[in-house]
Amino acid sequence: MEGVESMDKKEAPAFSWMTAAMPRVAAQVAEKRKQWGNAHVTDCVKRGLRGEAGYFFAREGAVAVGTPWDQPEMANFAAQHIKSGQSIVVMKMPEVGNGSA
């Protein structure tokens, strides 16, 4: 379960289908976990799956999960331009502090 191995053990089975159905997306999510941390990525995925736009949306071929952007033109772009063998993962970037403590 490459894309979900860092999730809580209770959550991982719910996403185990993703590796088989969306292998490119699973790999991209795994890479985001390495870059941004498990906690941030898990939060984004959960929020996107709950219907919050701007946190997580992924599409691979005809399979899509998460919530598309608030801008209809962006959601339409993903629906119309991601072909078989291609994938897209859109996730909210972690917020960067302003440097003051």
pLDDT tens-digit map of 45-95: 999 999 999 899 998 888 889 988 777 776 677 667 666 677 878 889 888
| Residue 23 reports pLDDT greater than 70 | yes
Taking each continuous run of H as one helix and of E as one strand, the counts in the chain are: 4, 3
Residue 101 identity:
A
User: Interior CA angle at 89 toward 84 and 92, to 5°?
Assistant: 165
Q: Which residues, 6 or more positions from 80, have their beta carbon under 8 angstroms from its beta carbon?
A: none
What average pLDDT does this structure show over 38-51? 94
* Contact (Cβ atoms closer than 8 angstroms) between residue 9 and residue 67: no
Mean per-residue pLDDT over the chain, rounded:
78
Q: Which residues, 6 or more positions from 40, have their beta carbon under 8 angstroms from its beta carbon?
A: 94
Residue 69 is predicted with a pLDDT of 79
Structural domain boundaries in the chain? 12-91
Residue 1 is predicted with a pLDDT of 40
Residue 71 is predicted with a pLDDT of 72
